[in-house]
Amino acid sequence: MKLKHIDHIVLTVNSIDATCRFYSSVLGMKKETYGHEQHKTLVFENHRIKLQQQGTELAPHARKPTPGAMDMCLITDMEIDEVVTHVKLYGVQIEKGPIARTGGHGELVSIYIRDPDGNLLEIANYA
């Protein structure tokens, strides 16, 4: 088998509203509603993060769907100093960085922040 790309990921959260506010305001993602169940998803470029509230997961799902259990790296074209200024405007604490890292396609400059559930988000750009 040869895989082509990831279609979407599913993020288990404590509050879909709080998650949508954070990801749309701080990270600029668009909130969309899909399906006859009116599920929420976060969209940027051609990527989707589907949201499920803990305790109301649709089967099948991860064995232990848990808020705050994900690490994710998101790539930006912004300079990291601009990213630092931007997230601080929203009162988001930077846990680490700017720091040099290695990503899937080479050298990165990254900062690390957390979303409302404590998921670790690496915001990076390729140097």
Q: How much is the pLDDT for 37?
A: 74
How do beta strands 120-126 and 71-75 pair?
parallel
* pLDDT tens-place string over residues 97-114: 999 999 999 999 999 999
Secondary structure (3-state) at 124: strand
* Domain regions of the chain by residue span: 8-126
- Name the residues annotated as catalytic: 122
Q: How much is the pLDDT for 55?
A: 95
Helix (H) or strand (E) holding 39: strand 39-44
**Does position 127 have pLDDT exceeding 80, yes or no?**
no
Q: Determine the longest span between alpha carbons in the chain, in angstroms.
A: 45
**What percentage of the chain carries pLDDT values higher than 90?**
92
**Does position 87 have pLDDT exceeding 80, yes or no?**
yes
Q: How much is the pLDDT for 101?
A: 96
The arithmetic mean of pLDDT across residues 49-63, rounded, is 94
**Does position 36 have pLDDT exceeding 90, yes or no?**
no
d(CA 87, CA 83) in angstroms, rounded, equals: 6
Domain topology for 8-126? 2,3-Dihydroxybiphenyl 1,2-Dioxygenase; domain 1 (3.10.180)
- Average pLDDT of the chain is 95
Secondary structure (3-state) at 52: strand
Q: How much is the pLDDT for 34?
A: 87
